[in-house]
Structure 1
């Protein structure tokens, strides 16, 4: 599957142009209030295009699933061939496709794009469809359902679910004579532990953080913000620069600047391998890291995020299969049927669980496939249980990508000792004020 460490990132040079293209599309909305699949004939011959966003082995899995579906539905052809955009390119390609009329029927999308995609006017309204009893919409986590909803309409179905927790190196804890983290620990405990795990002479750090300014930088702050009682937005007004936001960023600043216990990764791509090689004691990451850890053969375990006053709220970064409207009821209906099949418990075992991701539906927790997954991927059960702490979701509003970049830059400045939390967050809020739309 696509590496979620890079979730929500855009190639920086294309960000402004991409959002401008999406803004231009908003004026040409195809949303006329009519159900895109009204009059769908399930026996009609139809071709749908699937942008999987996957590469290499995951793409082969996708092609195999497409072949399996079309074998059972010979009237449907699914184009899921190699050469479709990879995930980092998808938003730019979708935006250009909206302008030229060459966008797909279904596409992988980072959840942080939902607001912009929903505002494009090109998505199907799936609200009634997913609420049909046979779909099992409530089997998805609340955060996943919320991220799939933009402007009050469901525009896609969850493709991947995850959350953030702490993965720790047991060997380094043993060497430092430290007890392993318990699920009731606090951020004060985390800071103290990180300091004790830091050994400058060995280039060993207690923890790590991305300072690339990407969404990987930004969404690591949101759990702290929520635990302290803060919010990202107040309506369409940035609210992350509240006292709660300042306190949250100050917690991270102390670890990075005062204690120098935090490895600062300029790229998003280094801190995972450094943890796997034994140079970082604790890594705040998600279940996507388990596949690499399995290969690294590291003695590790997983604990909940540290808490504030007993609140261990985390953040989930659900990705989506977004369904688009081409003013063709048969294409819309066939795409819905395929998405329902693809995200069923039976098919998900061949897709997410097969490549190390968490199951999409809570009903999968009793399946043989999930038992195999938890046996194969240490920490998988903890990450699955931690979905209960994903009580909030990132806003699905147009302009979130711009807000995220501004907040990410602010965090990076603070953690590198170049700014103080309040001034940095205030500046980010000011720059984001005109970007966010409901």
Structure 2
């Protein structure tokens, strides 16, 4: 009996030594990473379900990190996040969120450069222009995830009726106008749009007798664009303020943006209008602000997300296709991309683990998340599934048209038209007031109102 006990004890000692040598004992505690959702999309119940599934998938895929989902209602998300950050208890990851939502926390986002290097993440899966898109003040504050590149939506039947060629569908191609090849730029768009703007008598806006008070079709609509995106599309991306601290900030709106707003205003209120004015755009027959969807606008420049909202257009038997974004006066394409992604709070105690989660969300997890968010993938190899789904909604749209969006990934607005501005909420509101004034005021003293805008911004920036 004693001999058996001695042998058993010896075996237990040996087993203990083996376990010790193999790193046995109490398992190491997992690193908790908090994922904050609510500053942008992601709070819809169906989206929450998918996000919970992605969290479960990630946690099952490895044994070192525990991902914890934190859903906050959109209306209270900004205040909640502000409180958390102020107390030093901010989440590790925030998103998905666009530039506008993230600007309220400017300076709070981690530079991902070191984490990308430490984890050996391959940024080569993205278009280089999109990597640069997320570089702010020399820091890589995000990586591409959900993207919404721009394109010129157009109605082929309206072009056919006017005897006009369709917009080009490949960047670098020319447009044929009156038998001559010309650049697809804003000058060309303007001329084409005028010929596509029709009054109740069937006259276009270039013809004598055109009745601007009874327009039944417009040639172009800046579909759901802000005043800043109108300028970016027209003249290209620019930083619109200078200075590093309060008291030194100054509005630096480029002259080309001012030209863009003059062009836009003239397009509504000039002698040969081709853009719906505020009152016309707001009329029920023009869709209460959704002009292209009514089938009364021949062209509308906007982003991929607009494919969410053309159900009435298609039900009415209308068809649209997609053309490339126009060039500016400098011969460069003035592209725009709306985009959502995940950001890491720079106060995180576990930057590499947080980045491991972020990398999962924008790649493997993105396969489930992106359809839930209704977004186009930033990874080119994954876009076809998105367009296959869109093709079921709009079977008349050609593959050549969908490919315009793929091409558009190379033309982001860097910096974004939703770029950070000092005191950004009030500054953005002031721009919106200026835009509303242009849309709804015939005979506006443009120079005076523009000067007042700049003066007000200088005050707002330095409050």
The TM-score, its normalising length taken from structure 2, stands at 0.69
Which deviations, in whole Å up to 9, do the C-alpha atoms of 1:328-366 show, x marking residues without a partner?
33xx4443211111112x44333336765322134546x
* 298, 307, 310: which one aligns with 1:290: 307
Q: 1:89 to 1:253 in 2, by over 3 A?
A: farther
Q: What is the match of residue 63 of structure 1?
A: 52
Determine the C-alpha separation between the residues in 2 that align with 1:295 and 1:77: 45
Q: What is the match of residue 13 of structure 2?
A: none
Aligned pairs for 1:210-289 (under 5 A) are 216-226=226-236, 232-234=240-242, 237-240=250-253, 242-258=254-270, 259-263=272-276, 264=278, 273-289=290-306
Q: What is the match of residue 369 of structure 2?
A: 351
Which deviations, in whole Å up to 9, do the C-alpha atoms of 1:67-114 show, x marking residues without a partner?
221222366544436x5233x664344234434566433222221344
Contact 1:111 1:147 in 2 (8 A): no
Q: Which runs of 5+ in 2 are unaligned?
A: 1-26, 170-182, 201-214, 244-248
Quote the offset at 1:253 in angstroms.
Answer: 1.2
Contact 1:407 1:425 in 2 (8 A): no
Determine the C-alpha separation between the residues in 1 that align with 2:62 and 2:133: 30
Q: What is the match of residue 104 of structure 1?
A: 91
Q: 1:429 to 1:333 in 2, by over 3 A?
A: same
Larger radius of gyration: 2
In the alignment of these two chains, the number of paired residues is 381
* 118, 142, 148: which one aligns with 2:106: 118
Q: Which segment drifts farther, 174-183 or 258-267?
A: 258-267
Q: What is the match of residue 73 of structure 1?
A: 62
Root mean square deviation, CA, Å: 3.7
* 303, 316, 319: which one aligns with 1:299: 319
Determine the C-alpha separation between the residues in 1 that align with 2:344 and 2:123: 16
Q: What is the match of residue 84 of structure 1?
A: 72
Which deviations, in whole Å up to 9, do the C-alpha atoms of 1:288-343 show, x marking residues without a partner?
122434785341111122223432221223223121255533xx444321111111
Determine the C-alpha separation between the residues in 1 that align with 2:448 and 2:135: 33
Aligned pairs for 1:141-152 (under 5 A) are 141-142=127-128, 144-152=130-138
Determine the C-alpha separation between the residues in 2 that align with 1:280 and 1:336: 45
Aligned pairs for 1:403-418 (under 5 A) are 403-417=427-441
Determine the C-alpha separation between the residues in 1 that align with 2:289 and 2:166: 20
Contact 2:147 2:338 in 1 (8 A): yes
Q: Indicate yes or no: 2:149 matched with 1:163.
A: yes
Matched residue of 2:304: which SS? coil
Contact 2:147 2:340 in 1 (8 A): yes
Q: What is the match of residue 188 of structure 1?
A: 187
Q: 1:435 to 1:95 in 2, by over 3 A?
A: farther
Determine the C-alpha separation between the residues in 2 that align with 1:232 and 1:45: 41
The TM-score, its normalising length taken from structure 1, stands at 0.73
Q: 1:416 to 1:260 in 2, by over 3 A?
A: farther
Matched residue of 1:352: which SS? helix
Determine the C-alpha separation between the residues in 1 that align with 2:30 and 2:49: 27
Q: 1:206 to 1:179 in 2, by over 3 A?
A: same
Contact 1:161 1:359 in 2 (8 A): yes
Q: 1:373 to 1:185 in 2, by over 3 A?
A: same
